[in-house]
Chains A and B, each alone.
Chain A
Amino acid sequence: MDPLVRLIGVSKSFGGTTALQPTDLDFAPGLTTALIGPSGCGKSTLLRLVLALLRPDSGKVLFDGAEVTEANAEAVRRRVGYVIQEGGLFPHLTARANVLLMSRHLGRPEQEMARRLEELCVLSQFPRAGLDRYPAELSGGQRQRVSLMRALMLSPEVLLLDEPLGALDPLVRSALQRDLKEIFARLRQTTLLVTHDMGEAAYLADEIVLMNEGRIVQRGSAADFRDHPATEFVSEFINAQRGATF
């Protein structure tokens, strides 16, 4: 099967600083890929390039075989779900309004929306009573669940998660990790997860892509990283993640 998202020679720099060296990458359909690496390694930039939130300096991003351009960016974004670290929920809208924002904008039938919302509440284990609360009235973990529901509302073909658990305390985080794993297993959806935590990557992802200084250093399963680190940097990075269980 052809990959849904493919990067061909994509690079990006900001001012004089190179954020991403020319990079080729594709994501296996139906699998969860973790992009991992230290801060500033280019993993978030890569994600933003896929969403056309940034335009590549060189190379191209293909979505479902077609190059992502200014013209089709909106259509592509509607086939992609996106969750960021702080959730990115709109504070002036209730949880429900956040989740339904896009489907309401597209004029989807009420019944269909209600059914989908019901499914998502169950899937992400979000209490229905919380739907009428505003983001400021929800806990950090609940906000991330709502954000995930919003990303999944239009049944996207690809799910992008940019450090979705980064801002949560350890207990909530581990609970959400468990739930996310279950969700990924249930959805069997092409998912791209950005994280800086090797343990989280190993726990949630089928494949791990380690990046450093704007380029891909190693790609493989958690076992590959443990048994055959490609470079000195890979061993250091893995060893630095104390208590990583893989």
Chain B
Amino acid sequence: MKTGILLLALIATSTLAAEPVVVGSKKFTESYVLGGIARTVLERAGFTVQERAGMGGTIILWQALSDGQIDVYPEYTGTIGEEILRTKERLSADEMRAALKKLGVGMSADLGFNNTYALVMRRAEAERLGIQTISDLRQHPDLKVGLTHEFLDRQDGWRPLAAAYGLTMTNVSGIDHAIGYAALVRGSIQIKDAYSTDAKIQENDLVVLRDDRHFFPEYKAVFLYRQNLHPRAVAALNHFGGIDEAKMISLNAAAERSKDYAYAASLYFHPANSHAAPRRELWTNLARWTGRHLELAGISLLLSVLIGLPLGIVASRGGPVGQIILAIVGMIQTIPSLALLALLVPVPFLGISATTAIVALFLYGLLPIVRNTATGLQEIPAALRDSATALGLESGARLRKIYLPLASRTILAGIKTSAVINIGTATLAALIGAGGLGEPILSGLNLNDHATILEGAIPAALLALLVQGLFDLLDRFLIPRGLRL
């Protein structure tokens, strides 16, 4: 009997394991941590989980969930209302669930914390002035307020807030988020806007002023999942125990301190091992990022050469076809690289993937190769062209034996330009979760941590220099000696 149950359990787990559940997350600290928590929750429920961390913003995650590229990701109720369902009404959780259901998406129970806009002050000062709620601020119109530019301008930002509460402060200025915290700690400002689960709140011993008039919309954290997700997985996401605000703040703080999201997520399950904050294996990570980076840049460069060279040859013959080719590849180049990536994401079969990044880099690398090939071939003196023709070489042989070698210096210069541009642009691939050296740059930007940014930026710059040097060396082998005299 016991063995029978064991067997059943084994079969159950193995069927569950057959189809991995893909967990996505947005590219900011808290989303990374929540993604990590969902991963462990699902793994403990017996599922194989594949994590795609930091894929991008709301639109990209929602698209990926709709397309079935991911099965689960953490979201906020305020965002679901405003950006996904696009409604101005404040929907209840049940109304939201019903609306999402029509789109084939389920919403988990609220995780237990609200990450909304908030006003924060230094704890000591708030206690001294007896301020606990936003309403209390009415008694202190002389306080200095420093707000992020976004909050100053938002529809649900400062002006309507002041109107709703009858606040009359005149000393209100715009200040960057990270710098604002420093200014608050130094005392040059006394009130600042924040997200209510910001790690900085705990780090700097600040207090969140209670929104006693419920001005700010709720941004309760939930998991969104595809409706075809296994019921046991849904149950696991609904009943893993929840996270309160204090806990989330401390996990965010741990993530920013350790720069290791997986570790921060693990603290949710094992708060005890908080001392064992592992310093990531920098060299292992560097090798992984660099390898991926070279893969992205290398494959795309290869494609650019394979397609760009023939296009350049056709373009060198001039005429309307040649002009159209040059115009199109020229036009591609004018699209900002970020926009090109964004444009490719909705294309079927591409989506949020390394393939998309490779396609974007390939398109980007075309112009220097096509243009240099065309120019190099056009610059061959007429006397040499005539000589090649007069010898009786067929046009294919003329191209192969005479024209391409003669244009080799210009063509190689184009390939080199492409390669160097590709190495730089490939850092953007991390924006759509394709990895590479952009990964530490992005998380460094999110964490406001210069060291992490440099872990990506320095190798990327060195790589570009290395590639440049490598091509200079390659010139010696590929450009015929007679042309280097």
B392 A102 Cβ-Cβ under 8 A: yes
Decide yes or no whether A53 CB sits under 8 A from chain B.
Answer: yes
Is B87 at the interface (CB under 8 A from chain A)? Answer: no
Q: 0/1 per residue, A88-131, Cβ < 8 Å to B?
A: 11111110000001100100000000000000000000000000
A135 proximal to B (CB < 8 A): yes
* Contact residues in A for B276 (Cβ distance below 8 Å): none
By a CB distance below 8 angstroms, the chain A residues around B392 are 74-78, 102
The answer, among B386, B397, B480, for a CB contact under 8 Å with A88, is B386
> Looking across the interface, which residue of chain B has its beta carbon closest to that of A76?
B392
Quick check: is A82 within 8 A (CB to CB) of the other chain?
Answer: yes
Among the listed B393, B408, B483, which residue makes an inter-chain contact with A105, where contact means beta carbons less than 8 Å apart? Answer: B393
CA distance A89 to B480 in the complex (A): 14
Q: Are B482 and A93 in contact (CB under 8 A)?
A: yes
Q: Which residues of A contact B406 (CB under 8 A)?
A: 90-92
The answer to whether B481 and A82 have CB atoms under 8 Å apart is: no
Contact call B390/A51, Cβ cutoff below 8 A: yes
Contacts of B282 in A (CB 8 A): none
Residues of chain A contacted by B6 (CB below 8 angstroms): none
Is B386 touching A84 in the complex (CB atoms < 8 A)? yes
The verdict on B206 contacting chain A, using a C-beta distance below 8 Å, is no
Asked, given contacts A90-B406, A134-B481, A136-B482, whether A53 binds B390 with beta carbons under 8 Å apart, the answer is: yes
Closest-by-CB residue of A relative to B389 is A53
Structural contact, A101 and B391, CB atoms closer than 8 A: yes
* Chain A residues within an 8 Å CB radius of B393: 74, 101-102, 105
Please give, as numbers and ranges, the residues of chain A lying within 8 Å of B397 by CB-CB distance.
105
Interface size class of chain A, counting residues whose CB lies under 8 Å from the partner chain: 20 to 34
Q: Which residue of B lies closest to A147 (CB)?
A: B387
B394 at the interface (CB under 8 A from A): yes
The 8 Å CB contact of B394, one of A74, A89, A134, is A74
List chain A residues, Cβ under 8 A from B485: 91, 134, 136-137
Instruction: Give min CB distance, A5 to chain B, whole Å.
Output: 14
Asked if A198 is at the interface (CB within 8 A of a chain B CB), the reply is no
**In the complex, which residue of chain B has the Cβ closest to the Cβ of A82?**
B390
Q: Which residues of chain B are near A91, meaning CB under 8 Å?
A: 406, 482-483, 485
The residue in chain A whose Cβ has the minimal distance to the Cβ of B386 is A53
**Cα distance A74–B389 in the bound complex, in angstroms:** 8
Cα distance, A32 to B73, chains bound together (Å):
87
With a cutoff of 8 Å between Cβ atoms, the chain A residues found around residue B391 in the complex are 77-78, 82, 101-102, 150
- How far is B389's CA from A136's CA once the two chains are assembled, in angstroms? 22
A80 beta carbon closer than 8 Å to chain B: yes
Residues of B within 8 A of A150 (CB): 391
Cα-based distance from A53 to B401 in the complex (angstroms): 19
Contact assessment for A92 and B482 in the assembled complex, using a CB-CB cutoff below 8 Å: yes
In the complex the two chains form, is B387's CB within 8 Å of A92's CB?
no
Chain A's nearest CB lies how many Å from the CB of B306?
23
* Distance to closest chain B CB from A133 (angstroms): 9
B272 contacts A by Cβ under 8 Å: no
Minimum distance in angstroms from A71 CB to a CB of chain B: 12
> Contact: B386 with A92, CB < 8 Å?
no
CB nearest neighbor in B for A48? B386
Q: Is A24 an interface residue (CB 8 A)?
A: no
B100 interface hit (Cβ, 8 Å): no
Contact A84–B482 (Cβ < 8 Å): no
Q: Using a CB-CB cutoff of 8 Å, which residues 344-399 of chain B contact chain A?
A: 383-384, 386-394, 397
- Chain A residues positioned under 8 Å from B387 (CB to CB): 82, 84, 88-90
Q: Indicate if B157 sits at the interface (CB-CB under 8 A).
A: no
Where the two chains meet, the residues of A that have a C-beta atom closer than 8 Å to any C-beta of B are 48, 51, 53, 74-78, 80, 82, 84-86, 88-94, 101-102, 105, 134-137, 150
A-B contact pairs, 14 of them (CB 8 A): A53-B389, A53-B390, A74-B394, A77-B391, A78-B392, A84-B386, A90-B387, A90-B482, A91-B483, A91-B485, A92-B405, A93-B480, A134-B482, A137-B485
9 nearest A-B pairs in the assembled complex, by CB-CB distance: A88-B387, A92-B480, A134-B482, A77-B392, A78-B392, A82-B390, A136-B485, A92-B482, A92-B405
